Amino acid sequence: MSNRTFTMIKPDAVKNGHAGAIIDRFIKEGFRIVSLKLTKLSAEKAGEFYAVHKERPFYGELVDFMSSGPIYAAILEKENAVAGFRELIGATNPAQAAEGTIRKLYATSLGENAVHGSDSDENAKIEGDFFFSGLEQF
């Protein structure tokens, strides 16, 4: 089991001024920041990142949204990081997210759900490497 996961603070949460509180929460929950950057995805890059969802009906909307404004990308480290982080952010749909989770607190809707969290150790590595070179992973 790897001890790292990958996250993005999505355009809605950055635009709404929640990025600082969200990063603070990551740290308070015991995640160490391995890598962190403010960046903006082009539509092409967002499409590449979410290529696994290409056939889904919401793919176009997802790509438009994820390239609509700046995001924070980060690699985080903690024991059992992938599962622990998914618990911290809550269900994909904020309406179904548990009280106190990041999506319950800060997400706008199913599509604009404040944060991304990797769903497996393998994807955490792929997604982290998508944004950060080896020299940027501490």
Report, as residue numbers or ranges, the catalytic residues: 116
Segment 28-57, which members bind ligand CMP (CB under 6 A)?
A: 53
Judge whether 56 is annotated as a binding position.
no
Judge whether 78 is annotated as a binding position.
no
CA distance 98 to 105: 9
In Å, how far are 19, 35, 88, 114 from 104, measured between CA atoms? 15, 25, 10, 9
- Write down the least CB distance from residue 126 to ligand CMP, Å: 14
62 touching ligand CMP, by CB under 6 A: yes
CA distance 72 to 90: 19
Give me the half-sphere count of Cα atoms (radius 13 Å) on the Cβ side of residue 114: 27
CA distance 17 to 87: 23
Measured at the CA of 33, the angle between CA 91 and CA 84, to 5 degrees, comes to: 30
Segment 104-123, which members bind ligand CMP (CB under 6 A)?
A: 110-111, 113, 116
From residue 69 to residue 98, what is the string marking binding to ligand CMP with x (rule CB under 6 A)? -----------------------x------
Q: Which residues are annotated as part of the binding site for ATP?
A: 10, 58, 86, 92, 103, 113
Positions that interact with ligand CMP (CB under 6 A): 53, 58, 61-62, 92, 110-111, 113, 116
